[in-house]
Chain A
């Protein structure tokens, strides 16, 4: 395929995902806004007022970036896993497989769908926070790149889950038993600097810590982890997962008998 046709194919994939997520907007855009609003209320307003400032910021200011990141992560992930697995399950994926669209474009198309959903929901959740606190931006560049890279990474992870899933339980096991615990223990609600050394060390094995901290740095200018390390991990994992997805597509694993 020439570059012009590739662009059309890519646009088609993203458009299809956009149409799908807007058609079922109450399942895609709404849930994160509802749950995050509850977090803002409970942890920010009700409990937060009783918690001492962290690195000089009020508790709600501290958790907003983490909660936005949590929304970005879960929405990117679930958009791709459910979109891809849905197509696989309906045999609808065959429409793509018989076509000359190269595998890397297909991967990029699904990932972009996840990024669109992650970023749109992220923005909505961020806007909701304005009802509870004011926004400070320390580095726009850091916060945007941390959000986009994280969204790409978890879209790829969702794709991986969709590729390997054989049934509907397969697309809920990983989010429930891996993604949710890692996110909740990913430094959204607390600074790992305040943890006992052993828990701090264990926490550093959780990749989400680095993403949440990089993103929080973009807003507040504070981070429990070195920024360079955070971006290094983000970029490294993204490259690895992209290559892995591409390899699985090339081999047809989870797609072709």
Chain B
């Protein structure tokens, strides 16, 4: 057990019932405190990978440990470490913002009264405090996304996983989310995000892995990747690597 690692994945495979092989033996280690980008085109397997880490999807084979807790043998412990911001909205749109947050806290064993206290700074920071008594369906798209971030943070996870958090979000909000995530990371939260915005990875992430067709193509520090390719734009590097991995 290595507790300096936030996440250890070895030989992870996933074949859906439909026969689609979404992950073909993925291995990854992510250090505690890292800000990690999982980069890949649509259908690469990013959401599948994240769903396995968070126990939303069964894996076909391989192992996953979250801060040393295996998702097979200690799923409850592994789950307490993770906060998930999923790709698709999955809260009950008929519920009030504050109830969505406190209910989620309840599932982690946090009482409603202490969740109400904890929620205040989080909702204020994310600009949702004024909306706390509104039903989720009345929120704008950007607010809904921030609501999912707030919900993921209510139990103070050590590892925050965000699946394409800025997809379809306007530039201004994207910037402010970046600032928020940077701050979270500086205060010690390990962050993994998936994205297909290269700029996002370049701006935020210390380490980056590129996944294509269910396999990791590259896994190294962002700076090293950029340097190795003669300081080309990440976008060009990405396209070159994808082409190379798709033809082999």
List the interface of chain A (C-beta within 8 A of B).
Answer: 1-2, 4-6, 8-9, 11-13, 15-16, 19, 23, 87, 90-92, 94-102, 252, 256-257
Q: Is the CB of B197 closer than 8 A to any CB of chain A?
A: no
One digit per residue, 1 when the CB lies within 8 angstroms of any chain A CB and 0 when it does not, for chain B 61-80 equals 00000000000000111011
Contact A1–B56 (Cβ < 8 Å):
no
Given A5-B109, A12-B107, also A95-B58 (CB < 8 A): no
Contact B92–A90 (Cβ < 8 Å):
yes
The interface residues of chain A lying within 8 Å CB-to-CB of B207 are none
Interface of chain B, main secondary structure: loop
A97 vs B54: C-alpha distance in the bound complex, in angstroms? Answer: 8
Selected A-B contacts with CB under 8 Å, 11 pairs? A1-B109, A12-B103, A12-B112, A90-B90, A95-B103, A97-B56, A99-B104, A100-B76, A100-B77, A100-B107, A256-B55
Picked from B57, B76, B93, B103, the residue with its CB within 8 Å of the CB of A1 is B76
Contact A16–B76 (Cβ < 8 Å):
no
- Extra A-B contacts (16), CB below 8 Å, given A96-B107, A98-B82: A5-B109, A6-B109, A8-B111, A9-B107, A11-B106, A13-B106, A15-B106, A95-B103, A95-B104, A97-B54, A97-B56, A98-B79, A98-B84, A99-B79, A100-B76, A100-B79
Contact B92–A98 (Cβ < 8 Å):
no
One digit per residue, 1 when the CB lies within 8 angstroms of any chain A CB and 0 when it does not, for chain B 93-118 equals 11000010001101111111000000
Q: Is the CB of B17 closer than 8 A to any CB of chain A?
A: yes
Contact B76–A102 (Cβ < 8 Å):
yes
Residue of A nearest to B81 (CB): A100
B40 → chain A closest CB, angstroms: 19
Given A1-B109, A8-B110, A9-B106, also A95-B56 (CB < 8 A): no
Contact A256–B107 (Cβ < 8 Å):
no
B120 → chain A closest CB, angstroms: 19
Residue of A nearest to B108 (CB): A99
A87 vs B95: C-alpha distance in the bound complex, in angstroms? Answer: 12
Residue of A nearest to B88 (CB): A91
Q: Is the CB of B41 closer than 8 A to any CB of chain A?
A: no
A9 vs B17: C-alpha distance in the bound complex, in angstroms? Answer: 32
A94 vs B87: C-alpha distance in the bound complex, in angstroms? Answer: 12
Residue of B nearest to A87 (CB): B92
Q: Is the CB of B238 closer than 8 A to any CB of chain A?
A: no
The 9 closest A-B pairs by CB, nearest first: A5-B109, A12-B106, A99-B107, A91-B90, A100-B76, A100-B79, A8-B109, A98-B54, A100-B80
The interface residues of chain A lying within 8 Å CB-to-CB of B90 are 90-92, 94-95
A249 vs B107: C-alpha distance in the bound complex, in angstroms? Answer: 16
Residue of A nearest to B99 (CB): A19
A97 vs B58: C-alpha distance in the bound complex, in angstroms? Answer: 12
A148 vs B112: C-alpha distance in the bound complex, in angstroms? Answer: 28
Contact A94–B107 (Cβ < 8 Å):
no
Contact A257–B16 (Cβ < 8 Å):
yes
Contact A257–B58 (Cβ < 8 Å):
yes
A19 vs B75: C-alpha distance in the bound complex, in angstroms? Answer: 29
Q: Is the CB of B142 closer than 8 A to any CB of chain A?
A: no
The interface residues of chain B lying within 8 Å CB-to-CB of A99 are 79, 104, 107-108
Contact A257–B109 (Cβ < 8 Å):
no
The interface residues of chain B lying within 8 Å CB-to-CB of A13 are 106-107
The interface residues of chain A lying within 8 Å CB-to-CB of B129 are none
The interface residues of chain B lying within 8 Å CB-to-CB of A95 are 90-91, 103-104, 107, 151
Contact B106–A257 (Cβ < 8 Å):
no
B87 → chain A closest CB, angstroms: 11
The interface residues of chain B lying within 8 Å CB-to-CB of A256 are 55-58
Q: Is the CB of B221 closer than 8 A to any CB of chain A?
A: no
A6 vs B111: C-alpha distance in the bound complex, in angstroms? Answer: 11
A31 → chain B closest CB, angstroms: 20
A175 vs B243: C-alpha distance in the bound complex, in angstroms? Answer: 54
Contact B109–A4 (Cβ < 8 Å):
yes
A49 vs B15: C-alpha distance in the bound complex, in angstroms? Answer: 66
The interface residues of chain A lying within 8 Å CB-to-CB of B104 are 95, 99
Residue of B nearest to A255 (CB): B56
Contact A92–B108 (Cβ < 8 Å):
no
A94 vs B104: C-alpha distance in the bound complex, in angstroms? Answer: 10
Q: Is the CB of B33 closer than 8 A to any CB of chain A?
A: no
A16 vs B109: C-alpha distance in the bound complex, in angstroms? Answer: 14
A106 → chain B closest CB, angstroms: 9
A117 → chain B closest CB, angstroms: 18
B157 → chain A closest CB, angstroms: 10
Contact B91–A257 (Cβ < 8 Å):
no
Contact B108–A257 (Cβ < 8 Å):
no
